[in-house]
Structure 1
Amino acid sequence: MKPEKPPAADRDAYYADAASWSGDVHGALRSSRSLAWIVALGLGAIAVLEAIALVALMPLKTVVPYTITVDRQTGYIETAQGLNPGKLSQDTAVTEAFLAQYVMAREGYDVADLQATYRKVAMWSTGEARDQYLRAMSTTNPQSPMKLYPATTVMQPIIKSVSLLSRNSALVRFDVERHDYGAASGDRQSYAAVIGYRYTGAPMRMGDRLLNPLGFQATSYRRDSEMIGSTAASQGSR
């Protein structure tokens, strides 16, 4: 007895289900491929952006050499940096120059320039710093350089470094070398001075303004010996 063939309607339904299943499978495959392409493109874009960022940051990765110097007399260790254009602001450079000039005038002694340096230091000082200097330079002071040194002696300051400690204070390290007429070599002492300073807009005479155009003034001044084992006293009054 031969098996009965399924009705035509059942066959059509079966073929329709098979076609629907095949379409679903192919659709899922297409969706998977599309998702894979999207993920691949996204990862590729991220890789490209990382490469661009790396190339952009390469100029910032530089090796900066530093030179360490040690003062033979004091043992002070200092990091020396090269002079790079634009690295030092104009305000900082001007302030450091004023501080160096102030120390050179205040700590130097030369009878030939005494009147000019005295006027400069007095003008560039105010308050405690000015009072201390005037007392130190008074002819009635037995520790005045005019009492301590003969007229042929020259005290020459040599600035070693200027460091700004804050907006209104600085540390200046320097040597003072003594030269006596006819002597082969002079004595040399190392010092560090902590200086308080400001800029004032007070009115000045034309001659004073030319000597101090920005109104720089030292408000406090303390000098201490930097010599290792030195018994020299602090000379903040100078």
Structure 2
Amino acid sequence: MQIEAGNGVDQPLVNESYFHDGARWERDIYRRLEISRNVWRVVAVAALICLAIGLLTLLSLVPLKSTEVVTLLVDKATGFVEVAKPLEEGGPISQREAVTQANIVRYIRARETYDPPALRDNFELASLLSAGQASKDLQEAFSPNNLHNPVKLYGINGRIRVIVHSVNFLSQGWMENPKSPATAAVRFTSVRTSDRERMEEHWAANVRFRYTAEPMKNEWRWDNPLGFQVIEYRKDQETVAPIVGAAPVEAPTVAPPTGAPAP
């Protein structure tokens, strides 16, 4: 719409800048609404993602609430409770732990068993697996000058059978570094029999051990491939059973084997 000015020139009734300002204002309002809508969309998507992650985490924790069945072994004489663990790859008992338990049991059986026909074999095996103070104590125990030499005490008719009940490691650092010394607590029973008596004794032993990489003869390596060594050995009696009297029988002593590894 135009009006005629006094000079005869037609002028618009409304300034054109008014329409430009209105169009700019409309675009600004629309842009703000669009930005706000996009922001809320991003917030909503982020919330959904967080919710999905939370649900997945909750579902992953569900198996942790499952019931695990374990087997407990109770010793009738001492009341000691032991958990029977399965041997699994990466499971409750590692292969290194199982092998070390077997070495400790083999050592105690060789050292504590008394069987005259197998006496030399057991002594040589115990000597091979001993080092340091444990080796010295073993040599003294079977010394001909020792009045408590098992051969002098039990003679040719006596027998001692060893039953190992449990082996528990008191530290776990040796699992990462086998060369570092570690200690295991062992509970076992010795069953002594002769012509006139039978007695059971229950023992708790502390076995300090290590693995060594020192060179050795093939003959020794075949019996001890990993270089297992017991450096300290101590046992304490848990329960004492009455002894039915039997006089000790004299018998020839067993001399230390030749060629045993030096402690």
Normalising by structure 1, we get a TM-score of: 0.77
The Cα of 1:28 is off from its aligned counterpart by: 3.5
Paired residues, what number? Answer: 221
Looking at secondary structure, tell me which structure has more helix per residue: 1
Q: Secondary structure of 1:73's match?
A: coil
C-alpha separation in 2, matches of 1:164 and 1:136 = 26
Residue 4 of structure 1 is matched in structure 2 by none
> Any conservation in 2 of the 1:139–1:146 contact (CA below 8 Å)?
no
Distance of 2:72 and 2:121 partners within structure 1: 37
Q: Any idea what SS the aligned residue of 1:115 has?
A: helix
Partner of 1:112: 117
Partner of 2:192, secondary structure, is strand
Q: Deviations over 1:72-125 (max 9, x none)?
A: 333434344333343233322222111110000101101111111111112221
- State the one-letter code of the partner of 2:46: G
* 3-state SS of paired residue (2:69): coil
The secondary structure found in structure 2 opposite 1:83 is: coil
Q: Does 1:125 align with 2:130?
A: yes
- Show the counterpart of 1:226: 238
1:198 maps to which residue? 210
Distance change in 2, residues 1:155/1:18 (3 Å): same
| Residue correspondence of structure 1 range 2-151 to structure 2 within 5 A | 8-9=13-14, 22-56=26-60, 62-87=66-91, 88-151=93-156
Counterpart residue type for residue 115 of structure 1: R
Pair 1:24–1:126, CA change in 2 (3 A): closer
| Aligned-residue CA RMSD (Å) | 3.0
**Structure 1 residue 54: deviation in Å?**
4.2
Structure 1 residue runs of 5 or longer lacking an equivalent are 1-6, 233-238
Alpha-carbon spacing, 1:36–1:199, altered in 2? closer, same or farther (3 Å):
closer
Once residues 40 and 212 of structure 2 are traced to their aligned partners in structure 1, the CA distance between those partners, rounded to angstroms, is 71
